[in-house]
Structure 1
Amino acid sequence: MAVARGSHSGAQFLDPAVLARISNLELLAKTVVDGFLTGLHRSPYLGFSLEFAEHRQYMPGDDIRRIDWKLFGRSDRHYIKLFEADTNSNFSVLLDVSASMSYGSHEVSKLDYARYLAACLTFFSNRQRDRVGLVTFDHDIVEYVPPSMKHLDTILHLLDRASAGRAGSLRKPLLKITELLGRKGIVVIVSDLYEHPEEIFSSISLLRARGHDVIVFHVLDPAELSFPFEDSSNFEDLETREQIPVIPNRLRDDYKRLVAEHVESVQRRLTENRIDYVLLDTSKPLDLALFQYLLARERWTRKR
């Protein structure tokens, strides 16, 4: 989905290379969210209101008594006031901490980028008065924090010390998570999706079938997308530790084609089943992810 974005003074705080220098994850999340919202306020993009937790755009059939006329005077758009029951949601981040997430061709690994994103989304959602939760997983659940208004500090602490270790698989942990997350809510999955597309879809669709609104952030390193390597060498599978001799120049075109096919297949299967999908390059700023989450969140709110 195309998004219009304006330049703003907080843009540098969305750069992962800058974020890597901030050791405190809570400070990082606050810096990113505040900078992002400042930029959004100055942007020409008027698709949604910054008073996100208290308002949504008027839709035919809404009670006109709930229109915020003061906001109409500032924005020339009709928004209705939402009551607390309209806005509070269960928000859970499912973070992949399997071995392949440790890869990074630059100063920020896939897991680092995923941790930054998870922290920012959790911080933002807590500010929106959502109940926030966290699951870290590899081939099983590693850590579980149930959604609560009081769990932000616990989640940020776990994200701060999250590390990649064991091989991963989506099916078992997502099956368990589906049982744990009883009440319908918002589920954000952050993973490199290092698995066959059909296995990815069948695992994630369990959550959608239970009525959750699901958005998947597919996190890849730029080297995984472009395969810039030149010298012949052994490549190591981070999940199996298998050593594979490779001559990059002979494989580059086939490799890039296979990656493109994988991404296209995953995106198609998920979006066909009303699961939001966003591909993220870990060298790029976080604003794409935050914009896409806000757009999805606004759409989900309208459907309720």
Structure 2
Amino acid sequence: MVEETVNPLDPAVLARIKGLHLRAQRIVEGYVAGLHRSPFQGFSIEFAEHREYAPGDDLRYVDWKAFAKSDKVYLKRYEEETNLIAYLALDVSQSMAYRSEGAAMSKLEYAQTAAAAIAYLVLHQQDSVAVSTFDASVRRHLRPSSSPSQLNQAITVMQETDAQEKTALGPIFHDLAERYTRRGVVIVLSDLFDDPAPLLAGLKHFHHRRHDVIVLHILDPAELDFPFQQATLFKGLEAAGDILAEPTRLRAAYQEEINAFTRQVEVGCHAQAAEYVQVRTDQPLDVVLTALLAKRSRRLK
């Protein structure tokens, strides 16, 4: 009999762990332990310390101890060259509270968990983290820091706002772009349920300020698969009205609409040099950390 392997990064497993700090620690430790099995083999949470020698580089900065151990030539990279600021922009609007039947976490819980894991990883690398929560306005803003107490402060900020208000992504992104004064990586965690045009204009503002941008598009499986079979009362969020409808008659039109929306956002993100990652709340959290590490690796090349 073959035993079923449980993925420690599965949302259903993580949902049983109480406390964002402990969840974040479990995610990062599980992810790092599994790197040798990952298609991204070779990533390390220490990769920011060196870079490989390239012709023309100053030999004064060669790490000869590393050369003696690995027979490869690496250059030491200094803090001002490698220091990362991760700006976490977390959507806490009402639509983020949605959790379909059978889902382990709401979109907000999943986004909070992902953001906490990113913060834990970045701070573990001795880089800096900032956190902003928003709906129709910026609710909380924690300035960037790499101090040991920053993780607890970041988690407190993430958990202090309930999902109650509407979203206004365009104005919010413009506001945050002005607040994020030092160049860094802006990581947006949102369901992006808003008009794509102002949303994409806001992302362009981040690009104009020379930030790298990762958009984590957080969606519940039911929002993509539309699995409803019987007559269902769909409750409107963010001031939308309730609708009693027959799902089988709506499925094709709904899926065409949601696919067109996500495609428009994805293409628009790429046009603004932003990395788009669609994340379902039933996906293991390693997809989020992989997106972050891949972006950081490209930034250091």
| TM, length-normalised to structure 2 | 0.90
Query: Paired residue for 1:164?
Result: 163
Alpha carbons of structure 1 residues 17 and 173: separation in structure 2 relative to 1, 3 Å: same
Matches of 1:16 and 1:76, distance apart in 2? 41
Written as runs of structure 1 = structure 2, the 5 A alignment for 1:20-39 is 20-39=15-34
Alpha carbons of structure 1 residues 182 and 11: separation in structure 2 relative to 1, 3 Å: farther
1:214 aligns with 2:213: yes
CA shift for structure 1 position 233 = 2.3
CA shift for structure 1 position 76 = 7.3
Alpha carbons of structure 1 residues 77 and 110: separation in structure 2 relative to 1, 3 Å: farther
Query: Paired residue for 2:109?
Result: 112
Q: Secondary structure at the match of 2:88?
A: strand
% same residue:
40
Q: Secondary structure at the match of 1:13?
A: coil
Query: Paired residue for 2:239?
Result: 240
Matches of 2:234 and 2:55, distance apart in 1? 57
CA shift for structure 1 position 20 = 1.0
1:52 aligns with 2:30: no
Deviations 1:242-282, CA, capped at 9 Å, x for gaps: 11232110111111111111111111111122111100000
Query: Paired residue for 1:18?
Result: 13
The answer for unaligned runs of 5 or more in structure 1 is 1-9
Deviations 1:45-96, CA, capped at 9 Å, x for gaps: 4354442231234445444554556656777765433222222122210000
Q: Secondary structure at the match of 1:188?
A: strand
Q: Secondary structure at the match of 2:186?
A: strand
The answer for unaligned runs of 5 or more in structure 2 is none
CA shift for structure 1 position 142 = 0.5
Deviations 1:204-259, CA, capped at 9 Å, x for gaps: 21111111111100000000000000111221221114112321101111111111
Question: Is residue 173–residue 199 contact of structure 2 (8 Å, CA) maintained in 1?
Answer: no
Query: Paired residue for 2:176?
Result: 177
Deviations 1:144-192, CA, capped at 9 Å, x for gaps: 1010123221111222344211111112222221121111111100000
Matches of 1:241 and 1:269, distance apart in 2? 26
Please tell me the residue identity of whatever aligns with 1:15.
Answer: D
| TM, length-normalised to structure 1 | 0.89
Q: Secondary structure at the match of 2:105?
A: coil
Alpha carbons of structure 1 residues 45 and 107: separation in structure 2 relative to 1, 3 Å: closer
Q: Secondary structure at the match of 2:204?
A: helix
Which one of the candidate residues 82, 97, 103 is aligned to 2:77? 82
Moved more, 114-123 or 259-268: 259-268
Question: Is residue 91–residue 186 contact of structure 1 (8 Å, CA) maintained in 2?
Answer: yes
1:145 aligns with 2:142: yes
Query: Paired residue for 1:267?
Result: 266
Query: Paired residue for 2:88?
Result: 93
Question: Is residue 41–residue 50 contact of structure 1 (8 Å, CA) maintained in 2?
Answer: no
Matches of 1:65 and 1:179, distance apart in 2? 39
Matches of 1:275 and 1:92, distance apart in 2? 14
Alpha carbons of structure 1 residues 190 and 44: separation in structure 2 relative to 1, 3 Å: closer
1:194 aligns with 2:187: no
1:253 aligns with 2:252: yes
Please tell me the residue identity of whatever aligns with 2:122.
Answer: S
Question: Is residue 90–residue 158 contact of structure 2 (8 Å, CA) maintained in 1?
Answer: no
Q: Secondary structure at the match of 2:34?
A: helix
Q: Secondary structure at the match of 2:8?
A: helix
Query: Paired residue for 2:129?
Result: 132
Moved more, 141-150 or 11-20: 11-20
Alpha carbons of structure 1 residues 59 and 50: separation in structure 2 relative to 1, 3 Å: farther
CA shift for structure 1 position 26 = 1.1
Query: Paired residue for 2:153?
Result: 154
Question: Is residue 201–residue 270 contact of structure 1 (8 Å, CA) maintained in 2?
Answer: yes
Matches of 1:224 and 1:56, distance apart in 2? 42
Cα RMSD (Å) of the superposition?
A: 2.2
Question: Is residue 35–residue 43 contact of structure 2 (8 Å, CA) maintained in 1?
Answer: no
Alpha carbons of structure 1 residues 249 and 186: separation in structure 2 relative to 1, 3 Å: same
Please tell me the residue identity of whatever aligns with 1:107.
Answer: A
Alpha carbons of structure 1 residues 69 and 35: separation in structure 2 relative to 1, 3 Å: farther
Matches of 1:216 and 1:35, distance apart in 2? 23
Matches of 1:77 and 1:162, distance apart in 2? 49
Alpha carbons of structure 1 residues 50 and 180: separation in structure 2 relative to 1, 3 Å: closer
Alpha carbons of structure 1 residues 231 and 179: separation in structure 2 relative to 1, 3 Å: same
